[in-house]
Amino acid sequence: MLCAVYKTRKKEGMYLYVPGKNAFDDVPDVLMDKFGNPELVMLVALDKHHRLAGVDKNDVKGAIEEKGFYLQMPPKQEDLLASHRQSLGMPPHVDKKC
């Protein structure tokens, strides 16, 4: 299966996989509005790749076959301040009492 991968300038690490170049017919309008102007990153033959960066190729294939698209969200960022506070034996967040 050949699919096109698009990125957005609105959110780093968010990618939209569709079944071909400019094949956005099955992508809901609400998602396209939030995604913004899609920028083509690459065309990829899913069957020829063992893995993809950050996603399971079977999840991508399944979503494209079922819904017509796959949305890859950016990985969650670790809260470094909370981790540091915990390493010092402190609670992860400060209680703000006003």
Residue 45 is part of which domain span? 2-87
Q: Which helix (H) or strand (E) holds 4?
A: strand 2-7
Q: Does a structural domain hold residue 98?
A: no
pLDDT at site 98: 55
Q: Hey, what are 83's tokens?
A: 């981790």
pLDDT at site 36: 93
> How many domains does the structure of the chain reveal?
1
Q: What residue has token string 């915990």?
A: 86
H-assigned helices in the chain: 29-35, 57-67, 80-87
Q: Does a structural domain hold residue 31?
A: yes
Convert the pLDDT of each residue in 70-80 to its tens digit: 999 887 767 77
pLDDT at site 35: 93
Q: Does a structural domain hold residue 97?
A: no
Convert the pLDDT of each residue in 18-43 to its tens digit: 999 999 999 999 999 999 999 999 99
Q: Does a structural domain hold residue 96?
A: no
Q: Does a structural domain hold residue 92?
A: no
Q: Does a structural domain hold residue 95?
A: no
CATH number of the domain within which 54 lies = 3.10.510.20
Q: Does a structural domain hold residue 94?
A: no
**Beta strand pairing call for 2-7 and 39-45:** antiparallel
